[in-house]
Amino acid sequence: GQTIHLEDYRPTDFVLERVDLTFELDPKETKVEARLIFHRREGVSPAAPLVLDGDELRMTGLLLDQVEISPTLFEATDDTLTIHGLPETAPFEVTVTTLLSPETNTKLMGLYRTNNVYCTQCEAEGFRRITYFPDRPDVLAVYTVNIIADKATAPLLLSNGNYLGGADMGDGRHFAAWFDPHPKPSYLFALVAGDLGVVEDTFTTASGRTVALRIYVEHGKEAGASYAMDALKRSMKWDEEVFGREYDLDIFMIVAVSDFNMGAMENKGLNVFNDKYVLADPETATDADYANIEAIIAHEYFHNWTGNRITCRDWFQLCLKEGLTVYRDHEFSADMRSRAVKRVAEVRHLKSEQFPEDAGPLAHPVRPTKYREINNFYTTTVYEKGSEVTRMIATLLGRDLFKRGMDLYFDRHDGQAVTIEDFVACFEDASGRNLKQFSLWYHQAGTPLVTASGSYDAEKRTFSLSLEQMVPPTPGQSTKEPMHIPLRLGLLLEDGSEAKAATVSGADLTEDVIHLTKRKQTVLFTGIPSRPVPSLNRGFSAPINLHIEQSAEDRALIARHEIDLFARWQALNAIALDNLVAATTQARSGLPVTCDGALVSGLIAAAADDRLEPAFRSQALALPSESDIAREIGSDNDPDAIHAGRQQILAGVAAAGRDTFTRLADDMASSGPFSPDATSAGRRALRNSALSQLVYGDKGPERAAEAFRAANNMTDLSLALTLLAHRFPDAKETAEALAAFKQRFADNALVIDKWFAIQATIPGAGTLDRVKTLMADPLFNGNNPNRVRSLVGTFAFSNPTGFNRADGEGYRFLARQILDIDPRNPQLAARILTSMRSWRSLEEVRAGHARNALTEIAGAASLSADVSDIVDRMLE
Ligand code: DPP
Ligand code: ZN
């Protein structure tokens, strides 16, 4: 595909006023009649033709104001329909008839069939696979949708907006009509038809309107939707209370489908979800599943205002809706659960997913300026870093001004398709601040590195903190300007109390935030009674890498005394990371691995601290992952050495903390019926962390096998199975547990995904053969994205030693999988291929194998635009 540039943006020549769609659904041959009312935009040349987008369409009719258009006046290519000779000023109606085959649409874009249900996915450019259309987000129109289908197999006919009415057609078919009064872009169109069960409820808005709520799932699975319904009602209420946003239609529907490329989709009034993010009960869902469902239900609902009512002018502005909406769902979850624990989880995720992207060949700005395939920009940079940038605006402005800026945004831009510049201007206008330098966060890729060092002058009672920032070069951006980095900080004294400086100079300071705006800055604090320990980037106020020379003892002081709980976790994590990097070097050169005493005592003290909530203590116990260590090392990585070093640190912690972990495993045992609430989940998490430590200290699988037998919910059961499989892959107990789990859940595909994923992440070179065997299992289905992700995706993304085998077999396997998946489902193939985004930071032998595998993909006879875009950028 060709490259699209932001600077080439211009509005369409024709304004779309109204859309009338009629679908005659059939699995093999669905007929779509699209009636589109346009008028020529003022000032546009009378000779300008109308150019519409299309993709793999079969057109059987084309009318202008109900009269067939002569073949000399239009031209249809693979991806466009161009119509000449259109009225100069008067509105006109173009009627396009197309034939689709939902049943054979394996790309899962446009109209397709999943489990006998017709369903659509139109973001980003799927609507053009339904009809010829100006398929871009700045074309907003009001839609009427008529659906005709077989009554027996599709009793349910849904589209966006409010239900107008329907009727029996007397020939075994029936029809329904829907009208959406809110102008919307085509990517928010949705249609669902089939035979589904429903869970119903209502919500009364702040202004007293009653909204019907419906969640549609497969028959028999209705009970599994009750948690999602509860999360939806809480989301609706929260958005009213915190952002002042009320829902705007009479009905809000969610449909769960089992074949879906993404997590979920915010179509106006008719969200479509991957069933993984709707269905939950204690027997089959983990606490993490419950938390994800709550977050994603909220995320899609929140899009109704941030995305739907106010949408993007073009796809370069994707972060306008995604970054902001992720920020909103993060805040929601923080309010529903524990804020500190939520922040730790967010930062772990950001660092393990977004930081590697920002440091590798796929790095791009939060607001990119060019793309070849927009599907490849639904990235952690756009989503998670985009959310962090929104969070920083809130930090810079403070709560009240941030709220004023948001209110202005909703007020000023409701019903429009806008840009990041429009968004930022609202905060500038509401606050009177200049956010020009700050906006570089949208435009400069790469994770800034801040290097800090402090020195204390006992005589003058001053503390000076030198800060230097560097933004690394990224593809297409070799030099960078200094950024505006808001750093929250505290200066801790020996007794753990916080020093209050008499004066601060060298940087602007608001509350506990210092503003780093130059390449180098020295901040001087006076009136400091004794040598302080600086705690920097509290709450992860800026998404940066921070290097500060700090002893493990100083870090331990932060871990014990910081009032900011996140900063405590951060300090422990930093001690652990230093130790794990050193352990890697030792393991690689065959030296004994030394476990830092400060680390061991810090971890155990945090885990044992009954004043802290269990969920936090569990997070504190979790060592940085192998990919965290690889990222910290940065280059010449040997995944086997990282694994070996980390295992020995784990063993050291497990041995030293035996008594504490034994006590915790008992204390945190649950009593009473299962509840998915955050407090109960936190107790399970701490208990399972303690159990994991104990099992790591065990010589045999008995304790893990016992936990597997005793488990009465999926959180405990899957953790026990993971411990067995990862710690004792070849034990008889493990084989038995895997077989029992499979048999018990064989008819629940979402649980079987866990069974695949647990086995795909068994460390070591032998797992590749296991994965190949599992692919031949009757429960595996290469056409279902969740199955493919759970086995092939999990292996590539989350098994550093198995995937990065020194002989390169893991990469060759992935290359074959990508070439196999790509013709069916390019989006899925491209996404899984990004698992190789850090290949350049591997040691040279593995890097050579990785390059060869990528080169093999790049050289394949026919590649989708999705995969060729990724592979080309990775090899550039
Ligand atoms: N717009 C969708 C979402 O993020 C894309 N999956 O909610
Ligand atoms: Zn979203």
Q: Which of 671, 668, 673 is nearest to 687 (CA)?
A: 668
pLDDT tens digit string along 575-596?
999 999 999 999 999 999 999 9
- Which residue's CA is the nearest one to ligand 1's atom 1? 265
> What are the residue ranges of helices labelled H in 461-564?
552-561
Query: Is residue 453 domain-shared with residue 529, that is, in the same domain?
Result: yes
609 lies in a domain? no
Atom of ligand 1 minimally distant from the CA of 303:
7
DSSP summary character for residue 805: -
- Which residue's CA is the nearest one to ligand 1's atom 2? 265
- Which residue's CA is the nearest one to ligand 1's atom 7? 265
CB within 6 Å of ligand 1 — which residues?
123, 262-266, 299-300, 322, 378
Query: Is residue 323 domain-shared with residue 422, that is, in the same domain?
Result: yes
Query: Is residue 487 domain-shared with residue 416, that is, in the same domain?
Result: no
Q: Which of 342, 389, 391 is nearest to 366 (CA)?
A: 389
> What are the residue ranges of helices labelled H in 195-286?
226-243
Pocket test for ligand 1, best of 274, 322, 374 (most atoms within 8 A of CB): 322
Query: Is residue 432 domain-shared with residue 481, that is, in the same domain?
Result: no
Catalytic site residue from 300, 353, 388, 626: 300
Atom of ligand 1 minimally distant from the CA of 262:
6
Q: What is the largest CA-CA distance in the chain?
A: 95
Query: Is residue 414 domain-shared with residue 343, that is, in the same domain?
Result: yes
* pLDDT at residue number 672: 86
CATH of the domain at 353: 1.10.390.10
Query: 802 CA distance to ligand 2 centroid (A)?
Result: 32
The whole-model pTM stands at: 0.99
Query: Is residue 425 domain-shared with residue 491, that is, in the same domain?
Result: no
Q: Which two tokens stand for residue 367?
A: 């607001």
Atom of ligand 1 minimally distant from the CA of 299:
7
Query: Is residue 151 domain-shared with residue 54, that is, in the same domain?
Result: yes
Q: Residues near 860 by Cβ (< 8 Å), separated by ≥ 6?
A: 819
| Residues 364, 384: Cα–Cα separation, whole Å | 13
Q: What is the number of the ligand closest to the CA of 827?
A: 1
| DSSP string over 280-306 | --TTT--HHHHHHHHHHHHHHHHTTTB
Query: Is residue 25 domain-shared with residue 158, that is, in the same domain?
Result: yes
Query: 137 CA distance to ligand 1 centroid (A)?
Result: 14
Atom of ligand 1 minimally distant from the CA of 383:
4
* pLDDT at residue number 671: 80
Q: Residues near 667 by Cβ (< 8 Å), separated by ≥ 6?
A: none
Query: Is residue 395 domain-shared with residue 459, that is, in the same domain?
Result: no
Query: Tokens 């092939």 belong to which residue?
Result: 792
Facing residues of 19 across strands? 36, 143
Q: Residues near 164 by Cβ (< 8 Å), separated by ≥ 6?
A: 144, 176, 177, 178, 179
Pocket test for ligand 1, best of 273, 324, 378 (most atoms within 8 A of CB): 378
Query: 321 CA distance to ligand 2 centroid (A)?
Result: 7
Q: What is the number of the ligand closest to the CA of 324?
A: 2
484 lies in a domain? yes
Domain with 177 in it: 4-195
On whether the CB atoms of residues 838 and 630 are closer than 8 A, the answer is yes
DSSP summary character for residue 49: P
Pocket test for ligand 1, best of 120, 297, 300 (most atoms within 8 A of CB): 300
pLDDT tens digit string along 446-469?
999 999 999 999 999 999 999 999
Q: What is the number of the ligand closest to the CA of 387?
A: 2
669 lies in a domain? no
- Which residue's CA is the nearest one to ligand 1's atom 3? 265
Query: Is residue 438 domain-shared with residue 474, that is, in the same domain?
Result: no
Q: Which of 126, 149, 141 is nearest to 53 (CA)?
A: 126
On whether the CB atoms of residues 297 and 228 are closer than 8 A, the answer is yes
> Which residues, given as ranges, of the chain have pLDDT below 50?
none
CATH of the domain at 535: 2.60.40.1840
Residue 300: active-site member: yes
432 lies in a domain? yes
Query: Is residue 16 domain-shared with residue 94, that is, in the same domain?
Result: yes
Query: 272 CA distance to ligand 2 centroid (A)?
Result: 12
DSSP summary character for residue 195: -
Pocket test for ligand 1, best of 125, 266, 268, 292 (most atoms within 8 A of CB): 266
Q: What angle do CA 484, 477, 507 make, to 5 degrees?
A: 15
HSE-up of 133 (CA within 13 Å, CB side)?
A: 35
* pLDDT at residue number 457: 98
- Which residue's CA is the nearest one to ligand 1's atom 5? 265
Cβ neighbours, 10 Å, residue 723 = 26
Q: Is 570 exposed, middle or buried (0-12, 13-18, 19+ CB in 10 A)?
A: buried
| Residues 35, 18: Cα–Cα separation, whole Å | 8
303 lies in a domain? no
Q: What is the number of the ligand closest to the CA of 124?
A: 1
Q: What is the number of the ligand closest to the CA of 267?
A: 1
Choosing from 443, 459, 480, the residue where a domain stops is: 443
Choosing from 195, 213, 236, the residue where a domain stops is: 195
Atom of ligand 1 minimally distant from the CA of 300:
7
Query: 452 CA distance to ligand 2 centroid (A)?
Result: 36
Residue 474 to residues 86, 300, 382, 602, 872: CA-CA distances in angstroms?
46, 32, 16, 37, 15
Query: 783 CA distance to ligand 2 centroid (A)?
Result: 24
* pLDDT at residue number 465: 98
Provide the number of structural domains found in the chain: 4
CATH of the domain at 163: 2.60.40.1730
Atom of ligand 1 minimally distant from the CA of 307:
1
- Own/partner pairs for 176-179, CB < 8 Å, 24+ apart? 176/146, 176/147, 177/144, 177/145, 177/146, 177/147, 178/144, 178/145, 178/147, 179/142, 179/143, 179/144, 179/145
Query: 437 CA distance to ligand 2 centroid (A)?
Result: 27
Choosing from 510, 533, 549, the residue where a domain stops is: 549
Q: Which of 305, 540, 301, 317 is nearest to 406 (CA)?
A: 305
Query: 785 CA distance to ligand 2 centroid (A)?
Result: 19
Phi/psi of residue 825, nearest 5 degrees: -145, 85
What residue ranges in 41-91 does DSSP mark as E strands? 50-53, 58-64, 67-68, 74-76, 80-83
Query: 156 CA distance to ligand 1 centroid (A)?
Result: 24
